[in-house]
Amino acid sequence: MSAAPFSLTEHGRDALWRMAGIREFERRMPLLADEGLIRGSTHPSVGMEAVAVGVSMHLRDEDAIASNHRGHAHTLAKGADPGRTMAEILGRADGWCGGKGGSMHIGVKSLGVLGTNGIVGAGIGIATGAALASKQLGDGTVAVAYFGDGASNQGVLAEAMNLAAIWALPVVFVCENNHYAQSAAFEDMVAQTDLTRRGEAYGVPSEAVDGMDIEAVYAAAGRAVERARAGQGPSFIVADTYRYLGHMAGDTEIYRSAEEVAKRRAGDPIDTLAARLMAEGLLSAEEWSARQREIEAEVQAAEDFARRSPFPEERTAFTDVYAEEGAAR
Ligand SMILES: Cc1ncc(C[n+]2csc(CCOP(=O)(O)OP(=O)(O)O)c2C)c(N)n1
């Protein structure tokens, strides 16, 4: 499979704006949590933007994604409006689920977002089920499962990969290896650190990529999505990435050093792409800082919208909670 490579001219600026938008959105999460505006925990993916964006650039609205607890970036990259997404995180009526889902249960049916998910590994089975539905319906859609290195040790991955392989399901398994499962270092949790070997053991074409490099993620995701659309079954992408902030708001981060974080920040996906565009004369420093200010204003508008949105009314407590008898699926 040789899907079209990332073109700086064609895709560079769009990818940069998208990553910067997610960064700005996620940067605000700990601040909103500190203000007491977020009930329960929230897990920002600052630093990991290239994975969600590089994958989503190949997806259509009708394609499905199943995400995890760190799922705002996946949701936004799939095209979800930031205001409604922020409203959901703040538990407000204008959120995608009327404010009843929150950070870890954001579902956007019209965009195939089958939910962020607080159960580590659960999205893997959900995406594989969506891929089975796609195959049975013959609708040509693709499903993506996003999960972390910690989730890769859940049994569901083995089951899902095997079924996806024998049934040639159009699913792309995307492991965001950010090197920690909460406080547990990846290297302490597995003896075989090359996760692609797991995919290969199930007959799933598997590729390791630098998840801080949008060009590499885009290329690998292009091959995987093309394979799925062509009826050639699942793929596994292992993206090496890093979260700059704590596991969740309030994390004291005693399990890693400030030097380690600084070292990984030096390979920042946004700075790297901006520098590449500037080196090619496709972006000026002035334009980039103006665009960053615009993005900040756009995300501020999303935050203002969410803050203004009311809490759901008590009488709607059971609305959308149970399927209505006879309702169309
Ligand atoms: C089944 C299950 N076990 C444990 C937890 C508690 N938990 C929440 S996030 C997390 C770490 C997940 O790590 P990883 O999959 O690598 O994702 P990351 O947080 O690094 O993005 C754990 C253990 C959970 N939510 N669900």
Report CA 99 to chain centroid distance, whole Å. Answer: 20
Of 48, 116, 120, which is best to mutate to test ligand 1, by the most ligand atoms within 8 angstroms of its C-beta? Answer: 120
- The domains found in the chain, sorted by start residue, are 8-305 (3.40.50.970)
Q: Rounded to the nearest whole angstrom, what is the distance from the C-alpha of residue 266 to the centroid of ligand 1?
A: 26
The confidence score (pLDDT) of residue 191 equals 97
Amino acid (1-letter code) at residue 303: E
Instruction: Read off the pLDDT of each residue in 219-236 and give the average, rounded to a whole number.
Output: 98
DSSP states along 188-253: HH-S---THHHHHHTT--EEEEETT-HHHHHHHHHHHHHHHHTT---EEEEEE---SS-SSTT---
**Tell me, what DSSP letter sits at residue 11?**
I
Ligand 1 atom showing the smallest separation from residue 48 Cα:
21
The confidence score (pLDDT) of residue 329 equals 52
Band (1; pLDDT cuts 50, 70, 90):
low
Instruction: Read off the pLDDT of each residue in 65-93 and give the average, rounded to a whole number.
Output: 98
| Cβ of residue 82 lying under 6 Å from some atom of ligand 1 | no
Average pLDDT, rounded, for the chain: 96
Amino acid (1-letter code) at residue 158: A
Q: Rounded to the nearest whole angstrom, what is the distance from the C-alpha of residue 135 to the centroid of ligand 1?
A: 30
Per residue in 181-200, pLDDT (tens digit) is: 999 999 999 999 999 999 99
Q: Are 82 and 76 in contact (CB under 8 A)?
A: yes
Band (249; pLDDT cuts 50, 70, 90):
confident
| Cβ of residue 149 lying under 6 Å from some atom of ligand 1 | yes
Q: The tokens of 98 are what?
A: 């009327």
The confidence score (pLDDT) of residue 319 equals 87
| DSSP H helices in 231-324 | 258-265, 269-279, 285-308
Q: Rounded to the nearest whole angstrom, what is the distance from the C-alpha of residue 146 to the centroid of ligand 1?
A: 13
Q: Rounded to the nearest whole angstrom, what is the distance from the C-alpha of residue 150 to the centroid of ligand 1?
A: 6
Distances in whole angstroms, Cα of residue 154 to Cα of each of 119, 125, 189, 241, 316: 11, 11, 12, 20, 35
Ligand 1 atom showing the smallest separation from residue 70 Cα:
21
Ligand 1 atom showing the smallest separation from residue 182 Cα:
11
Confidence check: pLDDT of 131 > 80: yes
Band (2; pLDDT cuts 50, 70, 90):
low
The confidence score (pLDDT) of residue 327 equals 65
| Cβ of residue 178 lying under 6 Å from some atom of ligand 1 | yes
The confidence score (pLDDT) of residue 328 equals 57
State the pTM of this model. 0.97
| Cβ of residue 22 lying under 6 Å from some atom of ligand 1 | no
Q: Are 44 and 29 in contact (CB under 8 A)?
A: yes
Gap between the Cα atoms of 234 and 147, Å rounded: 15
Band (323; pLDDT cuts 50, 70, 90):
confident
Per residue in 258-279, pLDDT (tens digit) is: 999 999 999 999 999 999 999 9
Of 153, 182, 186, which is best to mutate to test ligand 1, by the most ligand atoms within 8 angstroms of its C-beta? Answer: 182
| Cβ of residue 180 lying under 6 Å from some atom of ligand 1 | yes
| Cβ of residue 150 lying under 6 Å from some atom of ligand 1 | yes
Per residue in 280-303, pLDDT (tens digit) is: 999 999 999 999 999 999 999 999
Ligand 1 atom showing the smallest separation from residue 247 Cα:
19
Reduced to 3 states (helix: H, G, I; strand: E, B; else coil), residue 146 is: strand
Gap between the Cα atoms of 83 and 77, Å rounded: 14
